[in-house]
Amino acid sequence: MTTPAWKNEYAVGIEDIDHQHQYFFLLIQRLQNLFAKGSEPRFISNLIDELVKYAVFHFKSEENIMEYRAYPHLMEHRIKHIRLIEELNIEKIRYDCGTTDSVALVAFLERWFTSHTTTEDAKFGNFVRELCQKG
């Protein structure tokens, strides 16, 4: 199993958001380590819960930053976050039911995370940069 690693291309250029994204990555790595060590299921389950709750917190935090910056696409972005949480919850249920395994779960989390940050969050990063350039 390849360890998901943070890459600079994931950065959106907004410090608070990038810190939170890096921490989310750390949680994915920690989960992979638990799987690799064959940790007890309760520790894995606890960490998956932590990961879902951190995602909910992070999306709220990101939306607050967007609102503060008067981001015109906040509502669309908020709807995308709701869908992402739904997808995450479905994947958690699939793992609990045994219809997906640890390798697939870690791969899902990395893909789930990077596909949103490098597209939708990156758009917000560009918006803030342009805003700052205009003074």
Does 121 engage in binding with Fe ion (CB under 5 A)?
A: yes
Which residue number, 44 or 65, has a Cβ lying nearer to Fe ion? 65
Token pair of 74 as six digits:
């906040």
105: closest CA among 40, 42, 52? Answer: 52
Does 110 engage in binding with Fe ion (CB under 5 A)?
A: no
* Residue 6 C-beta: closest distance to Fe ion, Å: 16
* Residue 116 C-beta: closest distance to Fe ion, Å: 6
What distance in Å separates the CA atoms of residue 22 and residue 45, rounded to the nearest whole number?
Answer: 21
Please, what is the end-to-end C-alpha distance for the chain in angstroms?
46
* Residue 79 C-beta: closest distance to Fe ion, Å: 11
Interface positions with Fe ion (CB under 5 A): 62, 121
